[in-house]
Amino acid sequence: MKVNKGEYELKVILAGDLLQVNNNQAEDNSSILKAHKILGINIIGSPGAGKTLLLERTIERLKGDAKVGVIEGDIATARDAMRIGAHGVPVIQLNTEGMCHLDARIVGRALSEMPLSDIDILFIENVGNLVCPALFHLGEDFKVAVFSVTEGSDKPHKYPQIFREARVVLINKVDLIDYTDFDLNACKSELLEINSSLNIFTLSAKTGEGINPWVEWLKGIMG
Amino acid sequence: MHELSLIQELLQMIMESARIHNIRRVHHVRLVVGEWYGALPCALRFAFEALTRHTICCGAVLEIASLPIRYKCRECEGEFEFMDNCPICASRDIYISQGRELYIDYYEGE
C-alpha cells in the first residue's frame, strides 16, 4: 500500500482483490469443515436444472454409507428445505432476499447452526444461477455443476466460468434427450476442452438412470 | 446482480483503508474489472450510487477500467482473443492472460 500525501488530497493505492473478504471467510469455513472431517460440495446450476431432486436421490442412495447435511440457498421460500428435510437429514434454508448467489459469510452463519459432528458430507445447494455463484467460493472442497439436456448443449461454451471452476458436471434429464436436439458427445468434448479434469456423469434424477455411478464416485472420494 | 455484492466488498475495503489513513471524504475510486466476471459497468455504477449514500464515498466518481479476456499460448507465447486453440501454432495449451482482474486500483480523498 502506498500513500502519497498531497496538500489536501490523498491518493491511496490499494490493489486489493474485491473478493478477498469473501475468500477469507471461505477459508474459515473450509477450516471448520476440515476440523470436522466433512466433505463440502457446492452445487451450482440454473433454475429448473433439477438440483434439488438430484440431491434427494443422492441422499437416498448415500443412506447407511454417509451422514448427510444440507444447506439450501434460495432467493425466497423454504420449499426446497422442506423437501430435503423429509429425508430425515439436517437442513438449513438460507433466503438471500434477492441476491443471486450464496456468499461465504451467509454459509458461515449456517455452519454455526449445523450439527457438524454428525455430518460426513455437506451439500450446499446454491441459488439457481449458472453465472454469479461461480465467483464466490464458500469454503467447499469442490463445485458440482448441474445442467439438463432441455437447456441445450451450448451451455458449456456460453457459461465457461462455472465449468472451469467445477470438478464434476452432472448432465440431468437424460430421459428426455430424444425430445431435444441435445448432442451428448459434442457437449462432453466441449466440456473437456474447457476443463480436461472434469468428471462428467449423465443421469436422470427422475427415473434414477445413471445415479449410481455418480454416488459410487462420491463414496470413492470420501475414502 | 453480483455487481451489488462486488460494490459492497469495494466499500468495505475503502472504508477500512480510509479509517486507517484518516480520510473523511472520498472523491474518486478507480476499479479494474476483467471481462471474466461478467460485471456490467452500468450495474456497478448503480450499485455504487445506491450503496454509498450516507457514507464517506457519497458523490465520489467511480472510474471503471474494463479489461477484455485475452488468451495466451504456452508454446509460442502468442496472444489472442478466443479460446479453443492457438491461431498461430494451433497448440491447445492456452491460458487466460488477461480478464481475471478484479481490484481497486486506487482511491482519492481528503
* Radius of gyration of the CA atoms of chain A, in A: 19
Q: What is the pLDDT of residues A14-69, one digit of tens each?
A: 877 888 888 999 999 999 999 999 999 999 999 999 999 999 999 999 999 999 99
Distance CA A85, CA A78 (A): 10
Closest to A221 (Cα-Cα) out of A31, A99, A62, A105: A62
A169/A185 Cα distance (integer angstroms): 14
> What nine digits make up the cell of A218?
462420491
- Give the pLDDT of residue A193: 86
Amino acid at site B29: V
What residue of B is the nearest CA neighbor of A101? B2
Option in A12, A19, A131 nearest B9 (CB): A19
- The one-character DSSP state at A196 is T
Decide if pLDDT at A208 tops 80: yes
Nearest to A14 among B84, B104, B110 (CB): B104
- The amino acid sitting at B89 is C
- B107/A12 touch (CB, cutoff 8 Å), yes or no: yes
Element spanning A146, H or E: strand A142-148
Q: Which residues of chain A does B10 touch, with a Cβ-Cβ cutoff of 8 Å?
A: 18
**Is residue A6 predicted with pLDDT exceeding 70?**
no
Distance CA A29, CA A32 (A): 5
Q: How far apart are CA B46 and CA A45, in angstroms?
A: 27
Query: Any residues with CB less than 8 A from the CB of B53 and at least 6 apart, and which?
Result: none
| A interface with B, Cβ–Cβ below 8 Å | 1, 3, 8-22, 98-101, 103, 131-132, 135-136, 160-161, 193-194
| Closest of A24, A98, A103, A106 to residue B16, by C-alpha | A24
Reference B31, options B56, B9, B58, B59; nearest CA is B9
What are A115-166's pLDDT values in tens digits?
A: 999 999 999 999 999 888 988 999 999 999 999 999 999 888 888 889 988 9
Predicted TM-score of the model (pTM) = 0.82
Distance from CA of A168 to the nearest CA of B (A): 21
pLDDT band, very low/low/confident/very high, at A2 (cuts 50, 70, 90) = low
**pLDDT tens-digit profile, chain B (110 residues):** 688 888 988 998 999 999 999 999 999 999 999 988 878 899 999 999 999 999 999 999 999 999 998 888 888 988 888 666 778 888 777 788 888 888 999 999 99
Measured between alpha carbons, how far is B100 from B36 in angstroms, rounded to an integer? Answer: 6
pLDDT (tens digit per residue) in B40-66: 899 999 999 999 999 999 999 999 999
Instruction: Give the tens place of pLDDT for each residue, A153-167.
Output: 988 888 888 998 899
pLDDT confidence of residue A149: 96
Largest CA distance in chain B: 55
